[in-house]
Amino acid sequence: QVSDRLQVFGNLESNVRSYCRSFPAKFKRASGHQLWDAEGRSYIDFFAGAGALNYGHNPPEMKKKLIKYLVEDGISHSLDMATEAKERFLTRFNDVILKPRGLNYKIMFPGPTGTNSVESALKLARKVTGRQTIMSFTNAFHGMTLGALAVTGNKFKRSGAGVPLNHTLSMPYDGYMGRDVNSIDYIESFLKDSGSGISLPAAVIVETLQGEGGINAASDEWLIGLANLCQTYGMLLIVDDVQMGCGRTGTFFSFEHCGIVPDLVCMSKSIGGYGLPMALTLMKPELDLWEPGEHNGTFRGNNLAFITAAAALDYWESQAFSHEIEEKAELVCNALVEIVASVPELKGEVKGKGLMQGIAFEAGIAEKISALAFERGLILETSGTDSEVIKIMPPLTIDRTGLVSGLQILKDCIFDIAV
Length of the chain, in residues: 419
* Among 35, 53, 97, 118, contact with ligand PMP (rule: CB under 6 A): 118
Per-residue burial over 75-108, b if 16 or more Cβ lie within 10 Å, else e, is eeeeeeeebebbebbeebbeebbbeeeebebebb
Regarding 381 and contact with ligand PMP (CB under 6 A), the answer is: no
Tell me which residue of 270, 356, 337 sits closest to 305, measured CA to CA: 270
Closest contact distance (angstroms) between CB of 243 and ligand PMP is 3
Q: Are the C-beta atoms of residues 169 and 133 closer than 8 Å to each other?
A: yes
**Pairing between strand 378-383 and 42-46?**
parallel
Regarding 371 and contact with ligand PMP (CB under 6 A), the answer is: no
Q: Looking at 71-79, 136-144, 344-352, 392-400, which segment touches ligand PMP (CB under 6 A)?
A: 136-144
**Pairing between strand 134-137 and 203-206?**
parallel
Regarding 142 and contact with ligand PMP (CB under 6 A), the answer is: yes
For residue 219, the 8-state DSSP code is P
Residues 344, 148: Cα–Cα separation, whole Å? 39
Closest contact distance (angstroms) between CB of 153 and ligand PMP is 12
Regarding 387 and contact with ligand PMP (CB under 6 A), the answer is: no
Per-residue burial over 148-185, b if 16 or more Cβ lie within 10 Å, else e, is bbbbbbbeebbeeeebeeebbbbbbbbbbeeeeeebbe
Regarding 352 and contact with ligand PMP (CB under 6 A), the answer is: no
Q: Which of residues 290-349 bind ligand PMP (CB under 6 A)?
A: none
Tell me which residue of 22, 42, 62 sits closest to 402, measured CA to CA: 42
* Among 37, 93, 97, 113, contact with ligand PMP (rule: CB under 6 A): 113
Regarding 115 and contact with ligand PMP (CB under 6 A), the answer is: yes
Closest contact distance (angstroms) between CB of 236 and ligand PMP is 17
Closest contact distance (angstroms) between CB of 299 and ligand PMP is 12
Residue number, 356 or 409, with CB nearest to ligand PMP: 356
The binding track of 231-250 with respect to ligand PMP, each residue x by CB under 6 A or -, is ---------x-xx-------
Residue number, 152 or 183, with CB nearest to ligand PMP: 152
If binding means CB under 6 A, how many residues of this protein chain bind ligand PMP? 15
Regarding 138 and contact with ligand PMP (CB under 6 A), the answer is: no
Regarding 174 and contact with ligand PMP (CB under 6 A), the answer is: no
Order of strands, sheet of 106-108, starting from the edge strand that comes earlier in the sequence = 106-108, 280-283, 264-267, 236-240, 203-206, 134-137, 168-171
Residue number, 260 or 413, with CB nearest to ligand PMP: 260
Q: Looking at 26-34, 99-107, 135-143, 159-167, which segment touches ligand PMP (CB under 6 A)?
A: 135-143
Residues 129, 146: Cα–Cα separation, whole Å? 21
Q: Which of residues 79-98 bind ligand PMP (CB under 6 A)?
A: none
Residues 159, 174: Cα–Cα separation, whole Å? 25
Residue number, 183 or 216, with CB nearest to ligand PMP: 216
Regarding 119 and contact with ligand PMP (CB under 6 A), the answer is: no
Q: Which of residues 36-55 bind ligand PMP (CB under 6 A)?
A: 50
How many other C-beta atoms lie within 10 A of the C-beta of residue 5?
A: 16
* Among 34, 139, 208, 268, contact with ligand PMP (rule: CB under 6 A): 268
Closest contact distance (angstroms) between CB of 234 and ligand PMP is 25
Residue 119 identity: E
Regarding 114 and contact with ligand PMP (CB under 6 A), the answer is: yes
Residues 381, 48: Cα–Cα separation, whole Å? 10
Residue number, 143 or 394, with CB nearest to ligand PMP: 143
Tell me which residue of 336, 419, 414 sits closest to 371, measured CA to CA: 414
Regarding 389 and contact with ligand PMP (CB under 6 A), the answer is: no
Q: Which of residues 204-233 bind ligand PMP (CB under 6 A)?
A: 207, 211-212
Diameter of the chain by CA atoms? 65
Residues 27, 6: Cα–Cα separation, whole Å? 12
Closest contact distance (angstroms) between CB of 279 and ligand PMP is 7
Q: Which residues bind ligand PMP (CB under 6 A)?
A: 50, 113-115, 118, 141-143, 207, 211-212, 240, 242-243, 268
